[in-house]
């Protein structure tokens, strides 16, 4: 925390690692400080008058400093995502589109965004990929999208039907595949935590648990 007092431009530039007054103002506001200014240009002074820790601030700092997320990430949505992803093993077996549907009542988020969030954990070696779960994606009798779990044999047999049907043409092959599986088959690897990096995840869960207790 920055001490509440008056700072010269040079002092504030050093603290916040910038050389622009507008960036100083943005950073102070983002970090929860209230302040006033005196003077202009190089003679400006920043008078810090109060501080209130922003919502999810400790979570945000951990995600940026430890997990490597970009500062432009929507951390409110990432917080909701991790509040499910870290605690529900079955959720980690879902495809990205299934994850978006699972989260619909909590927030609107695209599968592309979820993919970026998970890719970051994979690149940082915090996550790995485990066994596959197999699904058929299609529509029910009322035309609503549905995803049902299938077994590996059904998945493999469906693709066998596809390759056999290729002799008659692409459309025939896809029709044979979808007819056999009752939808379009997909295999999704489970996302598993790397035991050697699990301390970072434990800390993140600790932060989320503390925030949930504090904010009810």
Tens of pLDDT along the chain (216 residues) come to 899 999 999 999 999 999 999 999 988 987 889 999 999 999 999 999 998 877 788 898 899 889 999 888 999 999 999 999 999 999 999 999 899 999 999 999 999 999 999 999 999 999 999 999 999 988 878 888 888 899 999 999 999 999 998 888 999 999 999 999 999 999 999 999 999 999 999 999 999 999 888 765
Is residue 153 a part of any domain in this protein? yes
Host domain of residue 159:
132-192
Q: What's the total number of domains in the chain?
A: 3
d(CA 11, CA 24): 11
Residues 198 and 107 in one domain: yes
Which pLDDT score is estimated for 202?
Answer: 95
Residue 121 lies in a domain: yes
The verdict on residue 1 lying in a domain is no
Answer left, alpha or beta for residue 71, where phi above 0 means left and psi between -120 and 50 means alpha.
alpha
The answer on 122 and 65 residing in a single domain is yes
> What's the pLDDT score for residue 30?
78
Give the model's pLDDT for residue 142. Answer: 81
Q: What pLDDT, on a 0 to 100 scale, did the predictor assign at position 80?
A: 95
Is 33 in contact with 26 (CB distance < 8 Å)?
Answer: no
- Together in a domain, 139 and 184: yes
Q: Given this model, what pLDDT does residue 48 score?
A: 95
In a domain, 143, yes or no: yes
Q: Cβ(186)–Cβ(134) under 8 Å? A: yes
At residue 215, the pLDDT reads: 67
What is the reported pLDDT for 126? 93
Q: What DSSP designation does 124 have? A: T
């Amino acid at each position: 925390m920055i001490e509440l007092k008056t700072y010269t431009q040079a002092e504030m530039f050093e603290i916040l690692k910038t050389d622009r007054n507008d960036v100083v103002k943005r950073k102070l506001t983002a970090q929860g400080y209230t302040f006033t200014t005196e003077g202009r240009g190089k003679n400006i002074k920043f008078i810090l008058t109060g501080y209130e820790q922003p919502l999810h601030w400790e979570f945000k700092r951990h995600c940026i400093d430890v997990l490597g997320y970009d500062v432009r990430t929507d951390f409110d949505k990432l917080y909701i995502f991790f509040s499910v992803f870290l605690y529900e093993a079955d959720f980690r077996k879902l495809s990205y589109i299934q994850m978006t549907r699972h989260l619909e009542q909590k927030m609107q988020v695209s599968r592309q965004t979820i993919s970026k969030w998970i890719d970051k954990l994979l690149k940082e070696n915090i996550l790995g990929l485990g066994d596959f779960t197999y699904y058929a994606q299609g529509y029910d009798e009322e035309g609503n999208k549905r995803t049902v779990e299938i077994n590996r044999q059904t998945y493999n047999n469906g693709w066998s039907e596809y390759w056999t049907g290729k002799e008659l043409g692409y459309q025939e092959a896809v029709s044979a595949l979808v007819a056999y599986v009752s939808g379009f088959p997909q295999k999704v690897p489970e996302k598993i935590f790397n035991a050697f990096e699990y301390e970072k995840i434990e800390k993140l869960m600790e932060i989320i648990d503390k925030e949930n207790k504090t904010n009810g």
